[in-house]
Amino acid sequence: MARLAGWFAVFTVIVLVVVLVWGRPVAAQSKAPRATELQGVLAGQADRHFFGLESIQPGQAVALTLRFEAAELGAGKDVSFVVLSEDGLVRFLAGADPQDVAVATGAPPLFDTQDNRRTALVPGVQAAGFTVIVYGSADRPMRYTLQVQGGLLRDDAGQSQSLVMVDDGMVNTAALSGSAAPKPAEIVRQAEIVNPADIAKAVPARRVTGVLAAHGDRHYLRLAPAKGDAGGEVTLTLQYVAHQPGQQGKLNVWVLTQEGVRQWQQGGLLQELNLAGGSPALALAGATVMHTTLRVAESVPYVVVVYNEMADAANYTLHVEGAVVVDEFGQTNEAQAAVAELLALGQ
The 3-state secondary structure of 132-199, one letter per residue: EEEEECCCCCEEEEEEEECEEEECCCCCCCEEEEEECCCCCHHHCCHHHCCCEEEEEEHHHCCCHHHH
How many angstroms separate the CA atoms of 48 and 4, rounded?
12
Domain boundary among 163, 192, 221: 192
How many angstroms separate the CA atoms of 254 and 273, rounded?
10
Q: Give rounded-to-5 percent helix, strand, coil for the chain.
A: 20, 40, 40
Instruction: Say if residue 52 is in the same domain as residue 103.
Output: yes
pLDDT classification of 128: cutoffs 50, 70, 90: low
Mean pLDDT, residues 99-115 taken together: 79
Instruction: Say if residue 168 is in the same domain as residue 232.
Output: no
* β-bridge mates for residue 134, sequence order: 49, 81
Instruction: Say if residue 144 is in the same domain as residue 216.
Output: no
Cβ atoms of residues 281 and 275 within 8 Å:
no
Instruction: Say if residue 14 is in the same domain as residue 150.
Output: yes
Query: Model pTM?
Result: 0.49
Instruction: Say if residue 155 is in the same domain as residue 270.
Output: no
How many angstroms separate the CA atoms of 149 and 196, rounded?
10
Q: Give the DSSP letter string of 19-82.
A: HHHHSS-GGG--SSPEEEEEEEEE-STT-EEEEEEEESSTTS-EEEEEEE-GGGT-TT--EEEE
* β-bridge mates for residue 254, sequence order: 277, 305
Region of 226 please: left (phi>0), alpha (psi -120 to 50) or beta: beta
Domain boundary among 192, 225, 240: 192
CA distances from 22 to 10, 134, 161 (A): 20, 20, 21
First to last CA, the chain: 48
Exposure of 157 by Cβ count < 10 A (0-12 exposed, 13-18 middle, 19+ buried)? Answer: buried
Of 83 and 123, the one with more pLDDT:
83
The pLDDT value recorded for residue 239 is 93
Name every residue whose Cβ is closer than 8 Å to that of residue 276 and which is 6 or more positions away in sequence.
Answer: 236, 253, 254, 255, 292, 293, 294
The answer to which of 78-82, 123-127, 186-190 has the lowest mean pLDDT is 186-190
Instruction: Say if residue 226 is in the same domain as residue 186.
Output: no
Instruction: Say if residue 98 is in the same domain as residue 205.
Output: no
Instruction: Say if residue 106 is in the same domain as residue 180.
Output: yes
Instruction: Say if residue 179 is in the same domain as residue 218.
Output: no
What's 293's domain CATH number? 2.60.120.380
Three-state SS at 328: coil
Whether 47 has a pLDDT exceeding 60, the answer reads: yes
Q: In total, how many domains does the chain have?
A: 2
Cβ atoms of residues 250 and 242 within 8 Å:
yes
Q: What is the pLDDT of residues 159-217, one digit of tens each?
A: 887 676 544 443 344 433 343 344 443 333 333 334 444 444 446 899 999 999 888 88
**Residues of the chain with pLDDT > 90: what percent?**
18
Instruction: Say if residue 296 is in the same domain as residue 182.
Output: no
Distance of CA 170 to the CA centre of its chain: 26
Of 110 and 120, the one with more pLDDT:
120
Domain boundary among 175, 192, 209: 192
Instruction: Say if residue 233 is in the same domain as residue 161.
Output: no
* Domain interval for residue 240: 196-344
pLDDT classification of 76: cutoffs 50, 70, 90: low
Instruction: Say if residue 131 is in the same domain as residue 247.
Output: no
Radius of gyration of the chain (CA): 21
